[in-house]
Amino acid sequence: MQLTRAADYAIRVMIHLAGMPQGARASRADLAEVAECPEQFLSKVLQSLTRSGLVISHRGNTGGFELPRVHRTASLLQVVEAIEGPIRLNICLESERGCQRQDHCASFPIWAEAQQAMVNVLKSANIGDLAAKMSPPCENGALADSPKWN
């Protein structure tokens, strides 16, 4: 499984917002610069993050995007699933009976174990903790000495 660009951009945005002071807002343009993605594409990402409740969108002159206090400790799993929906390593893991061969498939337990390991890693990664490792934001919401994302 490989994350889409949208999920990658969402993670960048969420980490950036978590590094800003509580109640601070960042514009879509600033977030696009931080995420290093086209502003129009980021609009779709921000819509998904807002719909999921992870981000609050404010309109008007003092508008922008804000991370509510309750989501400053969101897991990477929450962010990824806000963009991608439930993530699965293999189609056989999509439901209790996602594959007719589950009962006698030698590889099913391996897929299930790998799935659980991935979920556990993403659940344990907290955007607030990741933000603490980044450079502090400037007053306008942009990062001082913005790191280049891989």
CATH of domain 5-86+126-132: 1.10.10.10
Domain boundaries, the chain: 5-86+126-132
Q: H/E element holding 31?
A: helix 28-35
pLDDT tens digit sequence for 57-102? 999 888 899 999 999 999 999 999 999 998 888 877 877 666 777 7
The answer to whether residue 145 scores a pLDDT higher than 70 is no
pLDDT tens, residue by residue, 29-48: 999 999 999 999 999 999 99
Q: What is the total residue count of the chain? A: 150
Any idea which of 3-12, 28-37, 100-109 has the lowest mean pLDDT?
100-109
Q: What is residue 42's predicted lDDT score, i.e. its pLDDT?
A: 95
**What average pLDDT does this structure show over 128-134?**
91
Contact 75, 81 (CB under 8 A): no
Give the Cα-Cα-Cα angle 13, 35, 137 (nearest 5 degrees).
65
Q: Is 70 exceeded by the pLDDT of residue 142?
A: no
